[in-house]
Structure 1
Amino acid sequence: MSNPLPPGAPELATPVPSPCISLCKMNRDTGYCEGCLRTIDEIIAWSKADDAYKRGVWAEIRRREQLIDFGHDQ
């Protein structure tokens, strides 16, 4: 049986899965969790949010991934 979702695209699933990877540490400079790249407000709202909201958060996470320097070049 094939997976109908492209690899690495959890935001397309229904229900939309949480991006949490159990590395919960808020970064003071960015305001994002270092594990999932969500803001504290996004984390708090997640459990009661609908899939449209969650997909919007995933879109923001994807954008943030492109903008943040993770320090891998050091």
Structure 2
Amino acid sequence: MSIETPCIAVCMINPQTDLCYGCGRTMPEIARWPRMASSERLAIMAGLPQRMADAGMDVPKPRQKRPSRTDATS
């Protein structure tokens, strides 16, 4: 089972904003993430780009999904 995540593997907290440079989540959100309901994760994820923009942070592009072997052979 996969968990929705905005993580792009750039895991550093901006000391001025207390937001992750990579995803825009706070440390408490990151810590609680695996225990959150899907609806709560999706609601937080929906607001992350604006949260980061409001904090003057660059909003990273989402990770690209790697093509599966079946995608490559089709």
TM-score for the superposition, normalised by structure 1: 0.65
Moved over 6 A (4+): none
Name the count of aligned residue pairs.
57
Structure possessing the higher relative contact order (Cα contacts under 8 Å, 6 or more residues apart): 2
- Structure (1/2) with the larger helix percentage: 2
1:66 maps to what in 2?
A: 53
Q: Which runs of 5+ in 2 are unaligned?
A: 59-74
Structure 1: how far apart are the matches of 2:54 and 2:18? 14
Quote the RMSD (CA, aligned, Å). 1.9
TM-score for the superposition, normalised by structure 2: 0.65
Identical positions, percent: 28
Q: Which runs of 5+ in 1 are unaligned?
A: 1-14
